[in-house]
Structure 1
């Protein structure tokens, strides 16, 4: 069964596939209930795929709001009603009176939290607001963060823990970028977005440091389409917003949104 499952996923995903299948089997066969850490959309897809293979398992996904990217999963026997179950979510509110506070971005907050020794899997979506930041976090680490987070990128901050119902969200900021490219290949578009030569963009892609729609992609010739989200470790993420036809010279017009 496991070998058959492996055929559907990238080799780098096997460790997570093993864990997810164990959660599903334990819920369906041994009536165990499992609350996971935060999963990215690719991991969520894998878990749902595996859960659908077992008739006696149900799952609930929650990241604090409807459009959450990162979510915790509750996996249980199918006779359990999960609607009112506690998903272990809390909101870390970060504020400051420092004038430089408004210059902080998503990466600054993420870096400060991870700098305390917190695993990325304990952190959900982070929302940068006009007057601060709301980060969805696992409830079990919220008190630690409240006690220890005192600085973000050399700016002194104050923290508070709020219930998930008090979460304020922000719209994802995308920096627009219009490109004309010879083809829709991953390496060609990525080299223009990140302003790297084609030879330099090949190295991280072939090393497994690139993801397309949260799935590891090692083929630089993969063609991108509208809606695809590409991330390159150390360089950030971008989304293909629109492919807008051809120029007179036969090049593709592509609208890109860089996550900022």
Structure 2
């Protein structure tokens, strides 16, 4: 069963597949409940795929609001009622009297939290506001964060825990770029977005440093489509917002949104 299961996933996902399958098996065989850390969309897909292999297991996904990207999962026997279960989430509200807080970005807040020794899985979506930030976080690390998170990129801050219904949302901000390409190949798009030569992006892609929709993609010739989210290690991530018609020279128009 394990060997056959791995054929459907990328080799670097093996550890997560093992853990997810154990959660599913224990829910089905031993009637256990498992509340996971925050999962990215790819991990949530893997868990859902594995849970579907058993008719006696169900999962609930929740990231604190309907459109959340990162979500916690509750894995449980099929007879359980999960809607009223506590998913163990709080809002970490970060503010400051320093006006420079308005200059901080997503990566600044993420870096400050991870620098405290917090694992990425304990943090959900991050919403950078005009005067601070709201972070969906696992409730069990909330007190630690409010005590120790005192600075974000040289800006002194204060933080407090709020219930989920106080979460302030901020839609993803994009820096849009339009260009034309000969094809929607992964290496062509990445090289144009980050203004790197094709040769500079080939090795990182083949080494597994590029992800398409949160899944490692090592084929430079992989074809992309509208709606795909691509991350390139060390450079950030972007989304293909639109693909248009052809130019007179047969090149395809593309609109990209770089996450900022």
TM range (shorter): over 0.9
The residue that corresponds to 2:187 in the other structure is: 187
Question: Following TM superposition, by how much is the alpha carbon of 1:252 offset from its aligned partner in structure 2, in angstroms?
Answer: 0.9
After TM superposition, the score normalised by the length of structure 2 is 0.99
Question: Following TM superposition, by how much is the alpha carbon of 1:202 offset from its aligned partner in structure 2, in angstroms?
Answer: 1.0
Alignment of 1:1-260 (within 5 A): 1-260=1-260
Q: Could you say what secondary structure the match of 2:111 adopts? A: helix
Question: Following TM superposition, by how much is the alpha carbon of 1:165 offset from its aligned partner in structure 2, in angstroms?
Answer: 1.6
Q: Could you say what secondary structure the match of 1:211 adopts? A: strand
Question: Following TM superposition, by how much is the alpha carbon of 1:237 offset from its aligned partner in structure 2, in angstroms?
Answer: 0.5
Q: Could you say what secondary structure the match of 1:225 adopts? A: coil
Q: Could you say what secondary structure the match of 1:188 adopts? A: helix
Mapped partners of 1:242, 1:23: distance in 2: 39
Question: Following TM superposition, by how much is the alpha carbon of 1:238 offset from its aligned partner in structure 2, in angstroms?
Answer: 0.5
Mapped partners of 2:202, 2:100: distance in 1: 37
4+ residue runs over 3 A deviation: none
Q: Could you say what secondary structure the match of 2:199 adopts? A: helix
Mapped partners of 2:255, 2:205: distance in 1: 22
Q: What RMSD, in angstroms, separates the aligned Cα atoms of the two structures?
A: 0.7
Question: Following TM superposition, by how much is the alpha carbon of 1:164 offset from its aligned partner in structure 2, in angstroms?
Answer: 1.3
What is the number of equivalent residue pairs in this alignment? 260
After TM superposition, the score normalised by the length of structure 1 is 0.99
Q: After superposition, what is the alpha-carbon deviation per residue over 1:197-248, rounded to whole angstroms, capped at 9, x for unaligned?
A: 1111112111111000010000000011101100011100000111101110
Question: Following TM superposition, by how much is the alpha carbon of 1:68 offset from its aligned partner in structure 2, in angstroms?
Answer: 0.2
Mapped partners of 2:226, 2:88: distance in 1: 35
Question: Following TM superposition, by how much is the alpha carbon of 1:136 offset from its aligned partner in structure 2, in angstroms?
Answer: 0.4
